[in-house]
Amino acid sequence: MAKKRKFSRRLPKIRGRRSHQSKKAGSAPGTLHHVGEKRVEEVSITIHDYSEDHIESIEITEIEECRPYLENPSKTWISVKGLHDIEKLQSIWAYFNLHPLVQEDILNTSQRPKVEEYEDNIFFVLRMMHYTKEEPVILESEQISIVLGQNYVLSFQESDMPHFSPVLERLKVVGTRLRRFGPDYLTYAIIDNIVDYYFGVLNELGDRLEETEEILIDDPGQDTLHHIHGLRREAIFFRKSVWPLRDVINSVIRDDTKFVDESIKVYLRDVYDHMVQIIDNVDNYRDMILGMHDMYMSQVSNKMNEVMKVLTIIATIFIPITFIAGVYGMNFDPQASPYNMPELSWYWGYPAAWASMIIVAIIMVIYFKRKDWL
């Protein structure tokens, strides 16, 4: 008997799917509560100060330490990792004079992607999506908040994961656009890096779809349906998380803003095209998942029909056999009347009964074979 094929990947869990809005219930707008998980022990602040001919990266403990960098003509990227220490974050927000609603949105990690422009800056809420590499595999969803000013970029993330290491590596190379252009190009590079992670999620989702489809065709089982439902849940969550980013990018491209140069909008259009492609792929995956679900239910129904067909044929074959056995099991006394089953007195009566039942069964099997019912 062939061994049932098993899935090579376990269904990943989803992290960041549920919010903790109950903490904010009844609070006035601008009230500061950290809504989400504590993903780091301490909040860290790292400064990346750069221009065409130099770059300096340093970790600081107090936001006042970034004053010399902000006062020179270079560009400054302040990266903040960890959102649970509200007191430390407030010192950052006070230094940059961030609007109270921006502060609230940074702490509320259940926000959907959006963009808002204020007098001194433009504020982005984005979502980082990726699968963890270690077991158990988790589909991570993390809020990334970006504040773009005239000569600086503030980024806030929940964890200390090196999500933007590709951007930092490019920033270290002399002569790159990141070094030559302003902070609006750095913001584009961060958004583009987040979108690149989306393609990684799509590739993983696509690989598991192919594996599930192969098992569905070869030898589906109860765990196949479980995987199909898991894939559907992931696809819906992923689409819901990334869909608004398309509108965010389109809004920045379409609207006039002093914080994003027209030359940078050309690159944002490329990111917009990527988002359209990603959403189209997710929609295609959702259709494939629905098709696999229908295929699974159809196969289960076909298997049930095959079982019912076999049982019906067996029952049909036994109907005349049961009739013969029933007739000769009525126990009429042949001595009381010559009409009371004279066959019971025959020398070959019992073998004749068996022979008749076997012949009837053989004839019915031959008939079913000719009709292609067997």
Give the residue extent of every domain in the chain: 13-298, 304-370
CB 63 within 8 A of CB 56: no
- On the question of pLDDT at 148 being above 50, the answer is yes
Over residues 301-328, mean pLDDT = 90
Mean pLDDT over 279-294 rounds to 95
pLDDT tens by residue, 216-249:
888 788 888 888 999 999 999 999 999 999 999 9
pLDDT surpasses 50 at 2: no
**And the tokens for 144?**
């990334």
pLDDT value at position 202? 95
pLDDT of the residue at 34: 86
Which tens digit of pLDDT belongs to each residue from 61-97? 999 999 999 988 999 999 999 998 999 999 999 999 9
Does the pLDDT value for residue 348 go beyond 60? yes
Give the sign of the dihedral formed by CA 131, CA 133, CA 137, CA 143: negative
C-beta separation of 253 from 268 below 8 A: yes
pLDDT score recorded for residue 169? 95
Identify the burial level of 118 via C-beta atoms within 10 angstroms of its C-beta, where 0-12 means exposed, 13-18 middle and 19 or more buried: middle
Q: What is the pLDDT of residue 1?
A: 44
pLDDT of residue 334: 76
Distance between alpha carbon 11 and the CA centroid of its chain, in Å? 10
Return the amino acid letter for 312: T
pTM of the model: 0.82
Candidate CATH numbers 3.30.460.20, 1.10.40.60, 3.30.450.90, 2.40.50.140; the one for domain 13-298: 3.30.460.20
Dig out the tokens for 132 from the structure: 């963890």
Average pLDDT, the chain: 89
User: What token pair was written down for 172?
Assistant: 């270290």
Q: Cα–Cα distances in Å, from 34 out to 38, 39, 112, 162, 247?
A: 9, 12, 16, 22, 26
- Give me the CATH code for the 304-370 domain, please: 1.20.58.340
Report pLDDT digits (tens) over 160-211.
999 999 999 999 999 999 999 999 999 999 999 999 999 999 999 999 899 9
Q: What is the mean pLDDT of residues 309-325?
A: 91
Q: What is the pLDDT of residues 127-140, one digit of tens each?
A: 999 998 877 788 89
